[in-house]
Chain A
Amino acid sequence: MWTRKGTILLASGVSLILIGMMISNFQFIIIGLTFIAFLSINGWVDGHSELEISRELSAYNVYKGDKIMVDLTITNKSYKRTQQIEIFDNVPHEMKLHFGINKMKINLGPGQSTKISYFVRCPLRGYYTIGPVSVRYRNVFNLFVNESKIDSRSDVTVFPQVRDIEEALLKSDVPNMYTGATTLKTPGPGMEFYSLREYIPGDSFRSINWKAFARTGELMVNEKTRDAVTDVFIFLDIRDVSRIGTVLKNSLEMGTIAAASVASHFLKRRDSVALVTYGSKMDYLGPETGDKQNFKILSNLASVSASGSMPLQAVTNALTSRISRGSPIFIISSLEGDGTTLPAIRSLAGRGHEVIVLSPSSIDLERLVSRIPRLSYEVLKLERQNRLTAISGYGAKVIDWMPDVELSQALMQVKGS
């Protein structure tokens, strides 16, 4: 493609020649010819993008707010010089350049290579792709440009942050509800040694304790604790209303942090955790334990986005049969715009579940982006309080989570019935 300068040079070259002929002026003709010759000769040199590009990232899965180092190696595999080209690594807008820059002007000889190194910070949860690499050949005198893209992409998952809530849960009312349950050890297919027992046909050979066999002469097998003694259910509201607030501070973002932290906490304690997200549809991740489950939950949470308006009751009704008896249930929702919240929580509480409602204060989040008249704000706040009061009236523990309050602090102010 011709640049503005190139086009102007061509047009003025032709004009000068013609005007030179009109007024019989050789200087014009020669300047015009020189311009055209300059363009013609420059046309001989052409840049190219037959480059080999490889990108290495310091991490592919990071937590929100973490930094990644990107190393882009560009090698000219051809027998030609690349000529002056600009390399630009397409970094998603949601990532912030922290150190260095994602572009470079290069001119690589045959076989030469170079490296662009830079750091990006990921302030937003989600799935992102770094790449493709844009290459722009620009003629030395800026007469022609040529753009192309090299399809080298690297996927990055940014998980929600995981906060340490152990202390908060210890201090607050919440863990007491099922401390007993979590310490109750029952045998099961876990990792931690529980006891020895006699071999029963059908037991796997791998579980035979050969040392005990040598000592006692009887086939003994190792019994292990069941890893999760409690199934913790986390219901995360990802309906459209959960986006109320700013892009960095809204119910959904606060909710994902809370869900990740709670899940992580319980998984560390070898409980099994189930995650239910509901918005335009319900997404159920069954109770499992271990790091794998943690990864699954984090990945799920990385991908959620606010949409839909599925009522909570529809979710609880669908899952009633799957929720094990006595399992504690975390409901993370702003409780905004859903008339079924009360009956759903009532029925869960009625079935003997410990229900903890963690509710980011949507009206305060809304206040971050919208100028709410004082009177309306107070009335809305009162209405929200009424709703929370009603829920706690059904025996649920309710946390009114203000935007500027840390999760651990919020958890400490559990209001019980």
Chain B
Amino acid sequence: MDMVEKEKTRETLHIPLLRRKWQILTFQILSTISLLIVMIRMNILYGSCTEEFILLAEGSAYWCPAYEHTRGLVWLSNTHDPLIPNFLLGIGQSGLSSFSGPLLLCILCTVSWSYILTKGEKLQNDIKKGAGIILALWVFIPFLFTWISSMAFNGPEWPLKHFGALFSPMGFFLELVFLGVVFAPILAGLMGIWGLSRRLITWAMGYFLLVIGIHAILTFEEISGAFDLGLLALPSQIGKSSMFGGLISPLGFDLLLISILLLIFLESGLAAITHLEYAMSLPEGSKNDIEYIKQFNNVVNSNLIHLVVIISLTSFTTMLALQFDDLLVSFVGIMQGSQWSGQVQESLELQMTYGKVISASLFMLVVAGMRYIIPWQRIFGYIEMNINNLRS
């Protein structure tokens, strides 16, 4: 009993302790896993070029602005050898293994960044300065070397024709750019989750939406008709609902998965930061206060439960909403006989995206309105109270 008491009192709201707290770690791990799955799913959905485009390339290296990194890097490596070793770039590997090298780089960056953050500003400044010097040396030394060595043989001359040497790091930066297309949000997301930065997490989220947006615009018929970049468009029809007992179509599920994972990434990443920020704002006295610790646990636990329950319900609701047009058609069918119900039941709109959207919006209205109909909280409150009574 005493041991338990001691164990309890040892718990405080100090940041180093909280960073090891299982709930906080769960948030961070959940967020990280979602981030990585989003990357993989996005690669599958948005990482391909069209068949025609691949055929046009006739077996040689090609690149289209898809969410995939190896094609661009292979295309780049045709002109010069990459500076970053192939296994880190993922060249030569296929499928998931092509992600492992760059992911390793991202993780290394995140770990060292988080470590540097805990050190003083001096070290950060030194690192910045050091990086700047190395870059400057990298740019100028080959240039000076070629120029001076040329002068040694050919006598004094203008440095103009050696300017090309100034661009020697260019290849490296291009490699980073091609890697960045896929891994910039991963790096930002990881740094945001583990380095506790809201800005980076929202930036990563925004980046993913941007990728989806750019892909959508480039594959929009009117645009792709004007200039084709070889991006593979998503199917224009969502397809037959065949998963989970006819609840959603495979394509719908893929798209929903991405949006739900994005939500999980955002919300659980931000949750960890919010709780740690709150703990940080407490003065020393309150960090040791048992009441504060108890309530902190209450809040964190409820957040975790909310995350799981609400995200699950959100996924389910979205699936239902997408399927609601079928239900609406059957509902209108009940009102047989009237001219209006006849035409609505048969209407082209209901069978198309518009019908899906309008009926989904209607369904959302119903869902939102359910808060006034069903006293959820009272029901759960009763359940909780009875469980507590039973326990005691």
A and B touch in the complex (CB under 8 A): yes
Q: Does A101 contact B216, Cβ atoms closer than 8 Å?
A: no
Complex contact B367–A37 (CB within 8 A): yes
Q: A29 contacts which chain B residues (CB < 8 A)?
A: 353, 356-357
Cβ-defined contact, B306 with A45, below 8 A: yes
Find A33's partner among B291, B296, B311, B321 (CB 8 Å cutoff).
B321
- Cα separation A38 to B306 with both chains bound (whole Å): 11
Contacts A30-B322, A44-B374, A117-B289 known; list 8 others, CB within 8 Å.
Answer: A27-B234, A34-B315, A44-B377, A99-B285, A104-B292, A108-B295, A110-B382, A110-B385
Q: Do A27 and B299 touch across chains, with their CB atoms under 8 A apart?
A: no
Find residues 185-203 in chain A having any chain B CB closer than 8 Å to their own CB: none
Q: Counting chain A CB atoms within 10 Å of each CB, which of B267, B282, B298 scores highest?
A: B298
A205 contacts chain B at the CB level, 8 A cutoff: no
- Contacting A24 at CB < 8 Å: which of B283, B353, B364, B388? B353
Pick from A35, A44, A109: contact of B376, CB under 8 Å? A44
Q: Which of A39, A44, A78, A116 contacts B381 (CB 8 A)?
A: A78
Q: Are A141 and B267 in contact (CB under 8 A)?
A: yes
**B23 in the interface (beta carbon within 8 A):** no
Chain A min CB distance to B47 (Å): 14
Please give me the residue from chain A that is nearest to B303 by CB atom: A140
A residues 102-139 with Cβ under 8 Å of B? 104-111, 114-118
Chain B residues near A25 (CB, 8 Å)? 216, 220, 234
The residues of A with any CB-CB pair to B shorter than 8 Å are: 17, 20-21, 23-31, 33-46, 78-81, 83-84, 97, 99-101, 104-111, 114-118, 140-142
User: Which residues of B are at the interface with A, using a C-beta cutoff of 8 A?
Assistant: 45, 209, 212-213, 216-217, 220-221, 234, 236, 238, 251-252, 255-256, 258-260, 262-263, 267, 270-271, 274, 278, 282-283, 285-286, 289, 291-292, 294-296, 298-299, 302-303, 306-307, 310-311, 313-315, 317-318, 321-322, 353-354, 356-357, 360-361, 364, 367-368, 370-371, 374, 376-378, 380-382, 384-385, 388
A110 touches B384 (CB 8 A): yes
Contact of B382 among A42, A79, A101, A118 (CB under 8 A): A79
Q: Pick from B255, B292, B315: contact of A26, CB below 8 A.
A: B255
A43 touches B381 (CB 8 A): no
User: Could you say which of B217, B251, B371, B382 has the most chain A C-beta atoms within 10 Å of its C-beta?
Assistant: B371
Structural contact, A100 and B283, CB atoms closer than 8 A: yes
In the complex, A117→B282 CA distance in Å? 13
A80 to B375, CA, bound (A): 10
B283, A30: Cβ atoms closer than 8 Å:
no
Is A41 a contact partner of B314 (Cβ separation < 8 A)? yes
- Can you show 26 pairs from A to B with CB atoms below 8 A apart? A20-B216, A24-B353, A25-B234, A31-B209, A34-B256, A34-B259, A34-B260, A37-B314, A37-B367, A38-B263, A40-B367, A40-B368, A41-B367, A43-B371, A80-B378, A81-B384, A83-B302, A100-B283, A100-B286, A105-B299, A107-B295, A107-B298, A110-B381, A114-B295, A117-B289, A117-B291
Given A104-B295, A110-B384: A37 and B321 interface contact (C-beta under 8 Å): yes
Inter-subunit contact A30/B234 (CB<8 Å): no
Bound: A42/B370 CA distance, A: 11
Q: How far is the CA of A28 from the CA of B234 in the complex (A)?
A: 11
Give the interface centre of A20, A42, A44, A109 by most chain B CB atoms within 10 Å.
A44
Contacting pair B380 A81 (CB below 8 A): yes
Tell me how far the C-beta of B281 lies from the nearest C-beta in chain A, rounded to whole angstroms. 8
Structural contact, B299 and A34, CB atoms closer than 8 A: no
Q: Please give, as numbers and ranges, the residues of chain B lying within 8 Å of A101 by CB-CB distance.
A: 282-283, 285-286
**A26–B311 alpha-carbon span in the complex (Å):** 20
Complex: A29 Cα to B179 Cα, angstroms: 29
**Cβ-closest chain B residue relative to A139:** B306
B234 near A33 with CB under 8 A, answer no
Residues of chain B with a CB closer than 8 A to A43's CB: 368, 371
Chain B residues with CB under 8 Å of A78's CB are 381
Cα–Cα, bound, A34→B258 (Å): 10
Check if B378 sits within 8 Å of A21, measured CB to CB: no
A286 to B260, CA, bound (A): 77
Are A24 and B314 in contact, with the CB atoms below 8 A?
A: no
Cβ contact of A31, chosen from B262, B299, B377, cutoff 8 A: B262
Q: Hey, which chain A residues are within 8 Å of B285, CB to CB?
A: 99-101, 118
Q: Which of B238, B315, B367 has the most CB of A within 10 A?
A: B367
- Closest B residue to A25 by CB, please name it: B216
**CA–CA, A21 and B356, complex, Å:** 11
Kindly state the separation between the CA atoms of A195 and B181 in the bound complex, as whole angstroms. 105
